[in-house]
Every structure is written in C-alpha cells, then in structure tokens.
Chain A
Amino acid sequence: MPMNPTCRSRRFPHLGGLGLVFGVLILMMLPLGSMADEIDAALIDLSDRSFEVKQAAVDVIAAGGDPRAGTLLEALLGGNLYARESDRRPVLVAPSPGGYRLTDALDGSDLGEVERGAVKKITINNRMRNQLRTAIAALTLASPDPEIRLKAAQQMLGDANPIVVEAIRDQLGREDDQRVRDYLDLSLALASLRDEAPAARLAAVNALSGSLYPAARNALTKLLSDEPDPEVRAAAERSLAAIEQKLKLNAAAETLFFGLSLGSVLVLAAIGLAITFGVMGVINMAHGELIMIGAYTTYLVQQAMPGFLDYSLFVAIPAAFVVAGLLGVLIERSVIRFLYGRPLETLLATFGISLILQQLVRTTISAQNVAVQNPSWMSGALQINPALALTYNRLYILIFALMVFVALLLILKRTALGLQVRAVAQNRAMARSMGVRSARVDALTFGLGAGVAGVAGVALSQLTNVGPNMGQAYIIDSFMVVVFGGVGNLWGTLVAGLTLGVANKLMEPWAGAVLAKILVLVFIILFIQKRPRGLFPQRGRAADG
C-alpha cells in the first residue's frame, strides 16, 4: 500500500478526525429519521467529483451502523459501485441484453434496466481504499461471529482513525473472546503511538513491552527512528529489548518442541526394537519394514473407509498392531527361532526378510509412494502465543509416543507376560525349569515388538511419505537410539530418542539438516567407544551376555 495511515491522520486532522467526531456525536443525538436523511445525502455525495467529499460521505455511511452498508462499501472498494446519472443514486450493475440491470446498492431492490450511458462508475483513490478497508473492518467488528471479529481486528490493527478507535473501545467493552481482545488492545496501543502527547505515547510504548505481535515490534522500531522525546525513546528501547528477549525464548521453545517431536518419532521407531533387540537380543533388520507395514495398513484402512477419514486412525492403530504383530510371530516361528544365540546370523536373515517385504509391497501395491491422508483433527496448530504455534500432528504424535512407551512399560512390569519375558531374557534355562514356555514367550515377545513397530508406522504415516523404502530410513536411527540408550532398557530408549531428537534440532540452524545428522552419528560412534553399553547399561549377570 503506497499510503500509510500515519500521514493521513497527521495531514488531515480536521477532515478525517475532529469534524467527523463531531459529525458522529451530532448524528447520535439526532432522531433516527434525520440520521437516515444524513445517510441519503452521503449516498449522493459518493459520486461527487472531489475525493475529499467522497471520503466524508464514506465516513457518514460507515458511522450509520447499517449492516447493509458493509456490502455497499465492499462494492465501492471492489470498483463495482456505479451512480445513476439521473439522481446520482449508487447502484450495483449487472450486464443485460439492453445494457445494464440495476439494483439498489443499499437495499438491493431491482431498479430496472438502463442503457450503458445511464450509469457512471464511482472512482476511488488509494487513500479511499485504506479508509474503506478500515470502515468495513469497523462494521464487521460488530459481527456476532468471533472469527469474523478476529479478522476485522487484525485488519484494522494500529489504525488511528478516531472512528475506528471509538469502535474498538466500544467493542472492548463487550468483547468476550480473548484473542479478539488481545488484538483490540494491541490496536489501541499502536494507535496511541501516533498520539500528539508524549505521555500517551509513553504509555503506549510501555503497554507494548514484551508484546509478541510482529506489528508491535515493527511499530516500535519505526517509532525509534523518528521519535523526538528522549523519555519515550528510552522506554521504546526497553520495550523492544523485552520483545527481543521474549522472541528468543519462544524461538528456543519452538526448537525444543521440534526436537521433542523428532525425538518422539525416533522413540516410536526404536521402541519396538528395544524389545526385540534389547530384551530378546535379536537383531531385527526387518524392523523398519514392520513400521512400513503399519503405515501401509493405515493406507489400506483409509481406502476401506473413505467416508470416515477422521476416525480411520482409531481403526488403523489396532489393525496395524495386529497385522505387524502376526507378521512378527510368523517371522519368529519360521526363521528366528532357529538362530537364537547367533546374533550376526539373525541380522543377515532378517535383512533378507526386509528385502522380501519391501519387494512384496512394491509388487502388490505400488513402487510409488502412496498418499496417506491426515484426519482434520490432525491439521492446524495450537497457537500458544503470536510467536509460537505447535502443530497438532506433531503434538499428538509426541503424546502418542509417550502413551505407547507407558503402555509397554506397564506390559513389561505389571503383566504375567512381562514377567515371563523378563525371566526368559535373564535366564532362559532357569525360566524353563520354572515352567515358563519359553518358545511361546519368544514368539509373543517378538510379536509385541513387531506390533509396536506397526503402531509406530501409523503415527509416522501422518508425518512422512509412505513408500516401500520408508523402513530403511528408520532402521539405522532406531539402532542408534537403542544402542545409545543402553540395550535392554526402555527408559534408556526414551531418554536417548528424545535427546538425539533435540540435539539434532539444536544443531540444525547452524549446521544444516544433513550435517547435523552426520554429527549426531559421529557423536554416537564416539560415545559408544567411551560407554560401550550405552547411557543406562544393564547391570548384573544379564549384562555379561
């Protein structure tokens, strides 16, 4: 916009300001009838040759508070408002065979057909465009819909036009939506920044201290460049410093959130592995492919219930658990049970399985990525404050990862199966002689780990591309997390995953995404040299294995 509101109000204080305030006051005192007359006169004035007269007319129409005035002003702003030559009445036109069909701009009544020469377009200039936007905003500010009010409040941010300021004060008195209130308060403070009196400016500057709205920061920066009063200047500098401080804090919080989000993805991907690798000692290289199977299950569930996208995930989670879990039991019974005690051979065999699973998906579904949709409640963001928004999908996945973690922890610590799993992991021979059916426990444990991988796949399908290769992207990271955290320790996996996620995101701003990842890998390689058994090593006899 070439014009800015500051110039307008300073250069035309009488026209745009005082005169109109009087006008409004007088109008308010006049009986309704004469107010309607006033508006009628203003409607005629709209097609005046002078832009200043037009502006005054717009103000009168806007102040009338007639809800239909909004449509008229919008039409004027859009260049769709015409004046009838005969009586200068503003009209809306639609092309018709004989020329134009006219409708009354205010009440929408049909005014018949005229030839093209009978109407004339009402022109506006840039200054009027600003004024119109403000006026429309003031009208919409009274809307019963809080979303519309919010938009209006954002639109008129910092407008010093007395009509607008008055409208904002009015609205503040009855506004009950906090977001709108915040914007209105901000708007008033911004408007006072341009006040003639230094005291008012000082108050405004102090009110803006620490405000996170970009407009506040911009206005203060601008104020500093042309503020004559030293006291206000000093206050503005303090306020700006407070703003910068708060912005930094929020940026740090955002980085932390991204880091935790990445960490939760790592935890989800790794936690199934923490069971198969950590508890059973099986190197399952097909783990990534079990995640992929979970993601494809989500895709198939969504295909099967196209009308219920919002509920599809709630079906997909148990479905993925069952599909991946059964697949895991199958893998354990057919291959892995012959390879216990030979971890390197398990690694190779399960890698073969991972190749087969990938190719199976490529052949039966598609070699291309498939489109998994996000339910509506996963999109959007939780707006903590103007500078910090947490996207719902990441937030839910973070919570989901913690839920999965707690569930697994409970299963391992509080159920009979968990007790047997731990017994077999610690001493297979002793567990067997106590009556634990170790073969069954092995199959169930592996199935549990695989099922959790499938559930992780459901969550990951909401964040990344789902394709036959997606599992490979996670397998190395997952092993890193488990090894870093300490094998056989679920807590270690949680801490390691979140730490690595946050570390990655902390380094990203100065190192770039790829280099950050490389640095994390190098860090883990070096860390394992120092602590070969991870952050939380297993102690006791089980550790000797």
Chain B
Amino acid sequence: MGVASVMRGDRGGQAMLAVLLVVAVVVPILNLMVPESSPWHVSTYTVTLLGKYLTYALLAVAVDLVWGYLGILSLGHAAFFGLGGYAMGMYLMRQIGDRGVYGHPVLPDFMVFLNWSELPWFWQGFDLFWFAALMAILVPGTLAFIFGYLAFRSRVTGVYLSIMTQALTYALMLAFFRNEMGFGGNNGLTDFKDILGFDLKSDATRIGLFLASAGALALGYLACRWIVTSRLGRVAVAIRDAEARTRFIGYRVDRVKLAIFTFSAMLAGVAGALYVPQVGIINPGEFSPLNSIELVIWVAIGGRATLYGAVIGAILVNYGKTYFTGAFPEAWLFALGALFVIVTLFLPKGIAGLVGMIRTWRRSRSPAESAAEAAP
C-alpha cells in the first residue's frame, strides 16, 4: 500500500501533513538563512519548542490509535514515552564521557556521587546509538506487551484497564524516584553534551532534531493510518464498538488489542526518545499520572478517532500551556481544568468534529433540533 492509498479520504490528515511539510521546509530556512535582526527570523528557542510539540503530537497520535480506534483509554502512555526518553537519556549520558563534573571516564556523575564503582549491567551497550534507539522502542514495547498480554487475556476492560494503566505509570514513577534504581533518582538524567558527535547546543543540531521529529511524526502518522485503514484497523473499530460481538464472530480480540497496544507504546517510546535531546532532561516526573491524563485531553480536544485531531490538540494545548504559564501562571490550571470539562460536555468530537458539527447544523437548519447533540 502506498502513501496515496493510505491517505485516501483523510482530508484532515492530508492538510495536516501538508502543513507539516511546509513547516519542516520553512522553519529551518527562517532559522538558519534569515538574519537575527529580521522580523522573519525564527529563534532556535522556537525551533526547539516546535520540535517538542511535534514529539507531543506523535505521542498523542499513539494515544488516539488505542483510544479512538480500539476503545482503550490508556492513562499510562506517558510511561512508555518516559521509558523511550530514558533510553535516549542513557545514551546521551554515556556520550558525556569524562566531561562530567567528576571527570570519570565511564560512570555518569550521579553514579560517582553514589559511590558506585562500575556501570550496572542494564547500562551496558547504551554508549552505542543504534542500541539505545532500539531500546527506546523495545523497552516500552515489551512492557506494553507483558501488561497487555496479562490484561487483555483476562478481559480487563474499560475503566478497570484505565485505572490499571494509571497504577502502572504511578509504580514506575515511584521506582524511578529511587536512587537505587540507577537512573539518577530525583534529578533524572541531564547535562547532555552531544548526540552522534554533534553539539546539542548548536543551531544545526537543533534543526536536525526538529526535522527528525517532523519526520517521525509524518511516518508515525502514516503507519497509524495504514493500520486503521487495514483489515486489522476495521476489526479494532469493531472491538471498540461491540467487543463481545466481535469475539463471538470469531476474532481473537485479545491478539488484536495486544498488537495495536504494543505498537502504540513503541510509537510513544520513539516520541520520548526524540523529546529528551530537545528539552535536555528526563526525570521521573515524566511518569506522573497527571501527564498521562493530560495527554488524553490533547486527543479529546483535537477529536478522537481522527489521528490528525490528536496532532492539532497536542500542539494547541501545549501552545496554550507555554503561553499561559508564561503570561498568567495562576490561570493555566483553571484553563486546563475548564478545557477538560467543556470538551467532554460540549465537544465530544473535539475540534476535528467541530467542522462536521457546523456543516450538519447548516444543512439542517430548519429541523435544527438535536443536530448538535447528534453525537452520544
């Protein structure tokens, strides 16, 4: 299946990818070519911010895949994101080499500080980029596979599953806060110097990471589209809408769920791996249950089961967060809280559904009754 067939009928997705392409071309030019004095210049700070939003968007797409198309509300996707981030963070930590505060040739600073004499076994191999990149995908994938295997096989569904995923990320947060875990405890991993030999502080590296994020988002989006337009995707929707019936028809519900859930977790891991070099730190706070719930609201605001809506929601909410926390720090939680309530009450289909809602409202203006509430 080619890109064209996957994207057929997905008008919003086509527009989103087009905008993404334009941004990916224009932003580097405006950053590198346009002099800083010009009003058209895009600062490196903004580039990094955009890159961060793009990784969030990829994460939101991963959530939308399982929530919108499979009906699993995961309140633990930040855990997969965080694990991917930690894998990349470990690579970046090893790249520091002897340039740390303590100047130890192998051990990261926090291990020297804890009086550890050698690298723990699970840190082996993370000096190689390909290994770390593989782990950023495999570790979240494995965790999702084990968790999903146990949960789906015993038919834990709905709210129970949501609460269990939340417990999962909560347990991980508590675990990563412990110094004994060997991941830097409370402070996490930070003070990164370079990636693949490129200085992380240079503009060119920042642009490179931004482009990598954009590319990952585009590829991740296409992969999700490919899944949802395939037979697998149609079975997934069937499971979402009538799980028992799908099972009785003869589909192996647990296997479909497991496959898509695991893939989604891997996607979240990729997003985390791209996120960490751009923000320069990963700490256990990323596992906090609040983060997972927050990213669900990105999807809800954008519109679930559209994929491109997740991208819109992630970028809009995070832009709002950046703006509010800078301009009115007091108001941000009020705004976020109100968003949660308003979206669930009045916008069950999110921003992506807004277009459709307005269209149906216009078309049937004479029998206006209940058109707005058409979506249960």
Interface, chain A (partner B; CB < 8 A): 283, 285, 335, 338-339, 343-349, 351-356, 358-360, 362-363, 472, 476, 479-480, 483, 514-515, 517-518, 521-522, 524-526, 528-530, 532
Contact = CB atoms under 8 A, between A and B. Distances in A.
A355 B159 contact: no
Contacts of A521: 167-168, 170-171, 174
A539 B166 CA distance: 27
A361 to B, nearest CB: 11
A347 B159 contact: yes
Interface in B318-352: 330, 333-334, 336-341, 343-345, 348
Nearest to A341: B376
B297 interface: yes
A528 B341 contact: no
Given A339-B344, A347-B73, A356 B178 contact: no
24 contacts: A283-B162, A345-B344, A348-B297, A348-B344, A349-B341, A349-B345, A352-B297, A352-B344, A353-B337, A355-B337, A356-B341, A363-B330, A479-B167, A480-B167, A483-B160, A515-B175, A515-B178, A524-B167, A525-B150, A528-B151, A528-B160, A528-B164, A530-B154, A532-B160
Contacts of B155: 532
Contacts of A353: 337, 340-341
B174 A514 contact: yes
B163 interface: yes
A293 B193 CA distance: 46
A514 B344 CA distance: 35
B80 interface: no
A348 B348 CA distance: 11
A249 B8 CA distance: 73
Contact of B340 (A351, A362, A472, A522): A351
Contacts of B336: 352, 355
A518 B340 contact: no
B158 interface: yes
Contact of A349 (B154, B166, B290, B340): B340
A514 B178 contact: yes
Contacts of A522: 171
A51 B73 CA distance: 85
A514 B180 CA distance: 11
A518 B337 CA distance: 29
Interface string B158-189: 11101110111011001101100000000000
A483 B333 contact: no
Contacts of B167: 476, 479-480, 521, 524-525
Contact of A345 (B150, B290, B339, B348): B348
Interface centre among B159, B339, B345 (most CB of A within 10 A): B159
Contacts of A285: 293
Given A472-B290, A521-B171, A529-B154, A344 B337 contact: no
A359 B339 CA distance: 14
Interface residues of B, number: 42
B209 interface: no
**Secondary structure class of chain A's binding surface, majority of residues:** helix
B173 to A, nearest CB: 10
A529 B156 contact: yes
Nearest to A360: B334
Interface string B280-299: 00000000011001001100
**Which of B160, B164, B170 has most A Cβ within 10 Å?**
B164
Top 10 A-B pairs, shortest CB-CB distance? A352-B340, A355-B337, A356-B337, A359-B333, A521-B171, A352-B337, A349-B344, A352-B341, A529-B150, A529-B154
Contact of B330 (A345, A349, A359, A517): A359
A480 B160 CA distance: 10
Contact of A525 (B158, B164, B338): B164
Contacts of B154: 528-530, 532
Contacts of A335: 341, 345
Nearest to A286: B337
Given A355-B336, A363-B330, 4 more contacts: A352-B339, A515-B178, A525-B164, A529-B153
Contacts of B147: 525
Contacts, number: 117
Contacts of B345: 335, 338-339, 349
Contacts of B341: 335, 349, 352-353, 356
Contacts of A345: 344, 348
Contacts of B166: 476, 479
A285 to B, nearest CB: 8
B178 A528 contact: no
Nearest to A532: B156
A338 B166 CA distance: 25
Nearest to B175: A518
B144 interface: no
B258 interface: no
A339 B340 CA distance: 13
B289 to A, nearest CB: 6
Interface in B121-159: 147, 150-151, 153-156, 158-159
Nearest to A345: B344
A348 B160 contact: no
B51 to A, nearest CB: 27
A346 B177 CA distance: 31
Given A339-B345, A517-B174, A351 B293 contact: yes
A281 to B, nearest CB: 8
A311 B168 CA distance: 42
A343 B161 CA distance: 12
B346 to A, nearest CB: 9
Nearest to B342: A352
B156 A528 contact: yes
B260 interface: no
B162 A525 contact: no
A99 B134 CA distance: 88
A191 B224 CA distance: 84
A529 B155 CA distance: 8
Contact of B162 (A344, A352, A355, A480): A344
Contacts of A518: 171, 174-175
Contacts of B174: 514, 517-518, 521
B325 to A, nearest CB: 12
Contacts of B237: none
Contacts of B266: none
Contacts of B162: 283, 344, 347
A345 B297 CA distance: 10
B293 to A, nearest CB: 5
A352 to B, nearest CB: 2
A530 B344 CA distance: 33
Given A335-B345, A476-B167, A532-B156, A348 B330 contact: no
A510 to B, nearest CB: 14
Nearest to B75: A347
A349 B153 CA distance: 30
B60 interface: no
B334 A359 contact: yes
A344 B156 contact: no
A479 B160 CA distance: 9
Contacts of B344: 339, 345-346, 348-349, 352
B6 to A, nearest CB: 28
A343 B158 contact: yes
Given A348-B293, A348-B300, A517-B174, A529 B333 contact: no
